[in-house]
Structure 1
Amino acid sequence: MSEPNPPRRPLATFLRPAVEADAPSVPQGEEASPPSVQPPAVDAVVAVDEGASAAPIAMVAEVASPPDSPAAAGTAQEPVFLRRHGTQSQPAPRWQWPLVLMLGLLLLLQVALADRAKLAAQATSRPWIAALCGVLRCTLPAWHEPSAFTMTSRDVRPVPGQAGALQVQASIRNDARWAQAWPSLRLSLSDADGRVIGTGVFAPADYMGNSTVATGSIEPGQSAQVAFHVREPAASTVAFSFEFL
Structure 2
Amino acid sequence: MYTQCPECLSVFSVDARTLAQAHGFVMCGHCGAGFDCISTLADQLPPEPFDELPSHEPGVEPPKVELVVYRPQPALPEAVAEEDAPQPLRDDFADLIITPRFARDVRADRPRRWPWVLACLFLLLGLAAQLAWALRDTLIADPATGPVLSEVCAALACRLPPVRDIDKLRLLARDVQSHPTVPGALLISANLRNDASFTQPWPIVVIRLSDGNGKVIAMRRLNPYEYLDDMDALRRGIAPGASAALVFEVEDPGHQAVAFDLGFE
Return the TM-score normalized by structure 1: 0.55
Asked if residue 171 in structure 1 is aligned to residue 191 in structure 2, the reply is: yes
Deviation at 1:243, TM superposition (A): 0.9
**Matched residue SS, 2:138:** coil
Q: Could you tell me which of 37, 43, 67 is aligned with 1:50? A: 43
Partner of 1:118: 134
Query: Which residue is equivalent to 1:206?
Result: 226
Q: For the residues of structure 2 that align with 1:206 and 1:219, how far apart are their CA atoms?
A: 20
Instruction: Show the counterpart of 1:235.
Output: 255
Code of the aligned partner of 1:139: R
Tell whether the 8 Å contact from 1:178 to 1:220 is kept in structure 2 after alignment. Answer: yes
Shift of 1:161: 4.9
Shift of 1:143: 1.0
Q: Which among 232, 239, 242 is matched to residue 222 of structure 1?
A: 242
> Using a 3 Å threshold, how does the CA distance of structure 1 residues 113 and 133 change in structure 2: closer, same or farther?
farther
Distance 2:227 2:133 in 1: 28
- What is the aligned counterpart of 2:124 among 108, 121, 125? 108
Give secondary structure in 1 for the equivalent of 2:125: helix
Distance of aligned partners of 1:205 and 1:138 in 2 relative to their CA distance in 1, 3 Å threshold: closer
In the alignment, which of 163, 185, 203 is matched to residue 143 of structure 1?
Answer: 163
Identity score, percent: 29
Cα distance in 2 for residues equivalent to 1:132 and 1:165: 48
State the distance in 2 between where 1:45 and 1:169 align. Answer: 129
The Cα shift of 1:148 comes to 0.8
Computed over aligned residues only, the root mean square deviation of the Cα atoms, in angstroms, reads 4.3
Contact 1:179 1:219 in 2 (8 A): yes
SS at match of 1:180: coil
Give the TM-score of the pair, scaled to structure 2.
0.52
Name the residue aligned to 1:160: 180
SS at match of 2:175: strand
- Structure 1, residues 208-231: CA drift from partner, whole Å, max 9, x if none? 122332232111001111112100
Gaps of 5+ in 1: 1-41, 57-84
Q: What letter is aligned with 2:242?
A: Q
CA distance in 2 between counterparts of 1:135 and 1:103 reads 28
How many equivalent residue pairs?
173
- What letter corresponds to residue 168 of structure 1 in structure 2? I
Distance 2:248 2:23 in 1: 120
